Structure 1
């Protein structure tokens, strides 16, 4: 290990320079909070074996502050121990403590109770929020400061915030200045960075001195325009003497090669080392239609699967890392430019990139963006004839030209190489290629050009090339034979055996809730009663009510009328109408899947900081059609006074997209609550009520008026010649007198750990709609991927006092799941005591709820 007294980190034109070693860094995201502690060391070793020299690590605030003022840095929350293991593995760490991290994590790591505090504004230079952030940084930053690279640790940079350019922060400079000053005050002296999610440097950094911009690129891997965009940013930061740091991007090494050739000196693909969301930690996000639930299986196709499988892309990782290591400072100090003189017979870049290597030579990226093999042709230049090279399907050749070899202890010049240079030294040159390659070397006897066949896996090709008195040994490996940095062979994990089918179970005599309730006049938000993750149960009388209006409920709402279950509701807070005529009692169970990790105003539950629970529940006392008698202000589209009177959205014009404003008085009584429903709304519109404006989305076309509001309303929408639908005004009366049971995650975990007698059953198991039971299912030993089959059921799986995760099987009410495999739950080998405990809930609205079977596939950890 490096002597801490001499270890240094600096940020310069060549990138993050560690101990004066200039090298383009490959960095894998690896998150301690998405893995059991027992596998940390093995996963870190897997990353290091690919040649990646760094990892980036989020620190989720709400993973460590589990309730207001309750801090936990023990066990699998011991981030200090994880960072120490990373250091022992020889990995540098870019630490990302937020306060907001996104990461498809519950609430983007912002504690859900912050939204309960009056006047607090998330991600703003606002005293209340900054006070909470200060308390978080007081916990997290000393851990990082003590483990900085120059102090014998692994942390080489600290990222403040995350993709702030996506968020409407009012005073970015003040906000980032406050975060910077907190970091410096805690002794952080490694570089501070802030990443732009959509290329807005100032939006991400606030233009604050001492915070370097970094970039998150998520291009279409097949786009021909990637290089030109990336070069633009390389030039922007290069003009300031800064490197192009890509803190997030796609996983495919084809794309990573294109970015490297375009000037990136840090490449941190998200998410090369996948993970798993144990517990109640996934978020809800805006990757659905428009919302979606993130899966517990957190997997975007990186080279390590969530359960530790090494995928074929690991060979590409070792190859690219070896090339960066071999070229070293020449690559890190390179400047980028558009390449010319290249043609290809396959889809390729619109403007390929070429790096001008420091000390001489060039490295040109030539992508094949198609799925068929092809050929690229380099025009004759500098004494070399026209040269054709083979392009593998969906690949990017990195072609070296005119590289002086003296620095490797070799004579002459590498004039041309279509294979990847993965090692060089006095013993010779080593390359990697999947296709036939061309190598041209120039020595005392002139240029010698050799065509080398594609090597087979396990069959590296050795060639001796001579030019006069100069001789070189050239070895070409298949990428899967490129060794790890320590010289050991790279191994792709073997295929695993077929899954085992589990059909035996024990149905337990165990309650699913305590039944202990408290009285509330209105249904409280889950967070108001301490349910930051978990479930909240509500009950109220609905005698004499014909229909309910429920506003802002989320995430999973299960209603029952007089004990008869209704279809689940998962509408991300959108307003819903529920007929209840003839019923006397409403019961509701609301489960928090997660809080919004992004900020999306299209639905209430997608807004960052939005609360969970049943929302506001109203009886609909009266309904009135108000689609007519709107006066129209079409601006330039009409002649003037007197204003026409039309139906809402009924004004016709050839001026498509121009704003039209509709106005009218509403028949409100000044003492009641009302809700306006814009049925058939086609586009977002601006609604001004008594002088206050807001935007209403077609995804939730409702406006609520408190008593005294709503006498005057104006609706401005772009003209679009379609049927506008109707407008209905509902008079509302609050449903009162609720009995509420809080069931936070720790209460559910306590229930799951109880001993219980039971009855042996054999799957399939049928349930009634709304019925909920506990099952114990025997599981073969070792790490296992569990998969569930059936329909109209939700399953929560527990082991060793933890929630492994949740699945929702075949239900029309189920929203879109994104992020990974929605049907897989993982029980790590160290957590497998021989059985998994399931909480199975039957849902209404389809066939009879049924858990058909469970399968258990071996996992490699």
Structure 2
């Protein structure tokens, strides 16, 4: 064993950051003739190539780490700071969605100014030295309102979303005509940062009928606007043809969201690496988990682009969150858009930033050798903790290997390995980590003698002056020189106190420094922003209750209850009123998202069931009122509930009075298929056929007692699993979440229901005859109208918290807040709060209510007011809800946030 040289606790350890030269390779490229804001002519993007080693920029081959950073989720005033924070982690790129409905705010009304000035954002990314993957959709998902598809598209008769259909493509063209020129003039090689453009998003999740024609149309539109950087299309579940349509010139990329603790990540990813390698293409991972342990596993399994979603979090201002199928079965996406990445929505740098710098430095150090590497299954290792079922190893171009050794547990562990000339070397594995073990690396490429036979610490720098590593654990380093292999064991460094030593083999000499991950510097002269955290919350005491209306009261008459979108409410609220005198019960179909009902002014519990049909007893009331607020449109496509389907409309839906109800549980004939069901068919109750063939389908059929002129609703009570329903030959699936079938006049003469046999699993069936509720008074209150009310000057009177209000009551409050960026929190029960500042909706919270749906994404209780928007007061719209305790806003707190 080689004796240790120098001191392990070097007296200048805290000041050794420049032990090795760290030249910055700028990402900016400014060819002659391209100045920011100038017209672009006769320039190409030949400096971007896409080959087996990935995206190659100006001939520089390097695996690319990419952080999502979304301008539409941040105030313009913090764009530059956030970009700098990403650059300081060593990530060289960002991916940027461009949401269509953020820029087309109403049909034909376009906005690219202020915080919608995406061109300015892309210019700032260029100035920060970050490459950009632009993702203009038309569909983006991103848990954003409607996946960025404008909600009014569904109003156009015959238009079919995400299809090669003329009406939809015409709408897409109007979007691309505006956004693609902004991207094209900012391409790499034209003085900008855009190195790739993604078409669509995870199309393999969606039922597009002619994928080839659809993606071809998008490709051709992009090319027409001068896009000549690589075009990519990402697969959400590994179906590369389903994502790209097999279209020439569109390269597949992949979104992997594995279980971080799964032992099978590596063989799955290697399979896709081999698949695209056979096509001469790289493995581009355009979305994946944020943990750097997982990113390392993907890197050694062949990925040359790693774009974890979401490293740089953000915030959904306005009425822009979506509803989606994360829940039981649905959920509301929070305004706080945070999945635990290394930057919080308000700009806090989390501990993973140091892990990011380490991995970025590792990638930068190995450079082309890593980008050109070939992945394979590694040799069997002896590991004392849960690990991969089949670890991956990269054979580096020019010699050497990198082996990923995961520790999938939460305890420290060990791995026993061997290297040339060494055997049974034990290395430490930190909890939930992935060691990138470098072996047999020739050092001549770094201007150093000999070979790095083994390094259990991360290789984060190498040059003529020495070798730089990073580790949380004790390190084992083996170097081979003129006098054979020399091995040193170095203890774990501490923050601010690196471990330094010198290793000699004959005339060969290597200076080593092992840093704590927190001490790995940013690339080149990039400055690491000072760490900051959210302060301690302080109660807000200055409260005024305002004498301001919460709506205008101006209504229009409609025969039937219209959708919100059809009256111009693409985001916001719609208010409905009608007489229900003489009605015993209402049936409401398709109401979404937040539905507040009242009978004769008495508030009922809020309904938020994603469009599921529900019944409302009227109990002799004469006046029916409803306020329906759009939380957001579905960002995914899930047919289990009407409100979860992409393109579904918002509002009160269809409102019916129940004229009659009849039990239709009995008198169904049975076709048991391959089970025994004789001829004539047995007559059974619905779901009552018994067989030993559990789980096999049986079909129940009967004519329903319909009159041919009325609307009806068939209720399958107690449905426990999806079933197929055929009405007069038309088939669809009915889910337990919404076990209703609507029958239009003339339908129902032949109804067949196919159920898997499961003893005792089904209940009864009822047929309800319906009559439409007519003569509605409707007030449209789009987001612009609500924002205008929130900006009105108003007198008020001092109030105190806790503040009690009545169910169904709404009131405006002004609350005084400290200066600067703030994280606002609210405490109470049976109230919903919308907060406004500087002409923007900061967000909405819903406190302690049994009717509240699941919230997903980030923190549902946090609202953020950026420092540049803070005028010293926040205006609140508070609504009381029924069904629980007395509505009460008990407390508001504010905590300082970094900016």
TM-score band, normalised by shorter chain: over 0.9
Alignment of 1:687-698 (within 5 A): 687-698=725-736
Q: In structure 1, the residue corresponding to 2:789 is in which secondary structure?
A: helix
Change in 2 beyond 3 A, CA 1:192/1:399: same
Match of 1:745 among 776, 783, 789: 783
Contact 1:500 1:857 in 2 (8 A): yes
Residue 325 (structure 1) aligned with residue 364 (structure 2): yes
Aligned residue for 2:555? 517
Alignment of 1:116-515 (within 5 A): 116-378=155-417, 380-487=418-525, 490=528, 493-515=531-553
Contact 2:419 2:439 in 1 (8 A): no
Residue 766 (structure 1) aligned with residue 793 (structure 2): no
Residue 2 (structure 1) aligned with residue 29 (structure 2): yes
Contact 2:88 2:529 in 1 (8 A): no
Query: 2:757 and 2:522 mapped to 1: Cα distance?
Result: 62
Deviation at 1:88, TM superposition (A): 0.2
Deviation at 1:2, TM superposition (A): 2.3
Contact 2:668 2:684 in 1 (8 A): yes
Deviation at 1:494, TM superposition (A): 4.2
Residue 824 (structure 1) aligned with residue 862 (structure 2): yes
Describe the superposition over 1:129-154 as per-residue Cα deviations: whole angstroms up to 9, x where unpaired: 00000000001100000000011101
Query: 2:533 and 2:800 mapped to 1: Cα distance?
Result: 30
Deviation at 1:292, TM superposition (A): 0.2
Query: 1:482 and 1:192 mapped to 2: Cα distance?
Result: 35
Contact 1:544 1:581 in 2 (8 A): no
Contact 2:409 2:431 in 1 (8 A): yes
Change in 2 beyond 3 A, CA 1:495/1:152: closer
Residue 78 (structure 1) aligned with residue 105 (structure 2): no
Residue 795 (structure 1) aligned with residue 822 (structure 2): no
Deviation at 1:165, TM superposition (A): 0.2
Q: In structure 1, the residue corresponding to 2:422 is in which secondary structure?
A: coil
Residue 562 (structure 1) aligned with residue 589 (structure 2): no
Match of 2:889 among 843, 851, 858: 851
Contact 1:256 1:267 in 2 (8 A): yes
Residue 535 (structure 1) aligned with residue 562 (structure 2): no
Q: In structure 2, the residue corresponding to 1:635 is in which secondary structure?
A: coil
Describe the superposition over 1:753-795 as per-residue Cα deviations: whole angstroms up to 9, x where unpaired: 0000000011110000000000000010000000000000000
Q: Could you list the runs of 5+ residues in structure 1 that have no partner in the other structure?
A: none
Residue 658 (structure 1) aligned with residue 696 (structure 2): yes
Residue 622 (structure 1) aligned with residue 660 (structure 2): yes
Describe the superposition over 1:790-812 as per-residue Cα deviations: whole angstroms up to 9, x where unpaired: 00000000000000000000000
Change in 2 beyond 3 A, CA 1:803/1:322: same
Q: In structure 2, the residue corresponding to 1:323 is in which secondary structure?
A: helix
Contact 1:480 1:490 in 2 (8 A): no
Describe the superposition over 1:636-661 as per-residue Cα deviations: whole angstroms up to 9, x where unpaired: 11142010000000111111221110
Describe the superposition over 1:258-313 as per-residue Cα deviations: whole angstroms up to 9, x where unpaired: 00010000000000000000000000000010000000000000000000000000
Contact 2:419 2:454 in 1 (8 A): no
The normalised TM-score by structure 2 is 0.95
Match of 2:681 among 619, 635, 643: 643
Q: In structure 2, the residue corresponding to 1:677 is in which secondary structure?
A: strand
Q: In structure 1, the residue corresponding to 2:163 is in which secondary structure?
A: coil
Describe the superposition over 1:303-324 as per-residue Cα deviations: whole angstroms up to 9, x where unpaired: 0000000000000000000000
Aligned residue for 1:544? 582
Match of 1:45 among 71, 81, 84: 84
Change in 2 beyond 3 A, CA 1:492/1:315: farther
Aligned residue for 2:22? none
Query: 2:214 and 2:147 mapped to 1: Cα distance?
Result: 18
Alignment of 1:547-626 (within 5 A): 547-626=585-664
Q: How many residues align structurally?
A: 860
Query: 2:507 and 2:76 mapped to 1: Cα distance?
Result: 57
Describe the superposition over 1:125-179 as per-residue Cα deviations: whole angstroms up to 9, x where unpaired: 0000000000000011000000000111010000000000000000000000000
Query: 1:3 and 1:405 mapped to 2: Cα distance?
Result: 34
Contact 1:163 1:197 in 2 (8 A): yes
Query: 1:390 and 1:501 mapped to 2: Cα distance?
Result: 47
Query: 1:827 and 1:84 mapped to 2: Cα distance?
Result: 25
Q: In structure 2, the residue corresponding to 1:707 is in which secondary structure?
A: coil
Query: 1:569 and 1:95 mapped to 2: Cα distance?
Result: 39
Query: 2:187 and 2:761 mapped to 1: Cα distance?
Result: 62
Deviation at 1:361, TM superposition (A): 0.2
Change in 2 beyond 3 A, CA 1:236/1:25: same
Query: 1:381 and 1:53 mapped to 2: Cα distance?
Result: 33
Query: 2:786 and 2:201 mapped to 1: Cα distance?
Result: 32
Aligned residue for 1:99? 138
Contact 1:292 1:816 in 2 (8 A): yes
Aligned residue for 2:19? none
Q: In structure 1, the residue corresponding to 2:198 is in which secondary structure?
A: strand
Describe the superposition over 1:172-217 as per-residue Cα deviations: whole angstroms up to 9, x where unpaired: 0000000000011110000000000000000000000000000000
Change in 2 beyond 3 A, CA 1:355/1:654: same
Change in 2 beyond 3 A, CA 1:88/1:495: closer
Aligned residue for 1:62? 101
Contact 2:457 2:471 in 1 (8 A): yes
Query: 2:63 and 2:387 mapped to 1: Cα distance?
Result: 24
Query: 1:654 and 1:854 mapped to 2: Cα distance?
Result: 61
Query: 1:147 and 1:489 mapped to 2: Cα distance?
Result: 25
Aligned residue for 1:834? 872
Residue 12 (structure 1) aligned with residue 39 (structure 2): no
Describe the superposition over 1:52-92 as per-residue Cα deviations: whole angstroms up to 9, x where unpaired: 00000000000000000000000000000000000000000
Query: 2:613 and 2:502 mapped to 1: Cα distance?
Result: 74
Aligned residue for 2:564? 526
Contact 1:482 1:490 in 2 (8 A): no
Query: 1:215 and 1:778 mapped to 2: Cα distance?
Result: 48
Change in 2 beyond 3 A, CA 1:639/1:554: closer
Deviation at 1:382, TM superposition (A): 2.6
Match of 2:794 among 756, 770, 773: 756
Aligned residue for 2:128? 89
Query: 1:700 and 1:203 mapped to 2: Cα distance?
Result: 30
Q: In structure 1, the residue corresponding to 2:189 is in which secondary structure?
A: helix
